[in-house]
Amino acid sequence: MPADVLHRVWQSEIRLRDAYLSGQIKVEGSLVRAFALAHLFRQVEALYPTVLQDRSLLPGSRPDRNSG
């Protein structure tokens, strides 16, 4: 999966299912097994904005001086 598509999925700009149906995501092997991992994507989706903010990768975000 291209990184820009993954970024858009984790930013909730596109849904995982829609990215698959539009051909932006290709699945090799069992589609059922691949979509069984969708719950992990939702968990990361919840954490991803915080990670971006902590790394000053969101517009208007500042680095956390207490990290790293």
66 in a domain, yes or no? no
Neighbours of 20 (CB within 10 A): 18
| Segments forming the whole domain that contains residue 26 | 3-54
34 in a domain, yes or no? yes
pLDDT at 39: 87
Tokens 């968990």, located at residue: 43
pLDDT at 64: 57
64 in a domain, yes or no? no
11-66 pLDDT per residue, tens: 889 988 899 899 998 888 988 888 788 888 889 889 999 999 999 887 776 655 55
Provide the domain count of the chain.
1
**Reported pTM:** 0.68
What is the rounded distance in angstroms from the CA atom of residue 67 to the CA atom of residue 39? Answer: 28
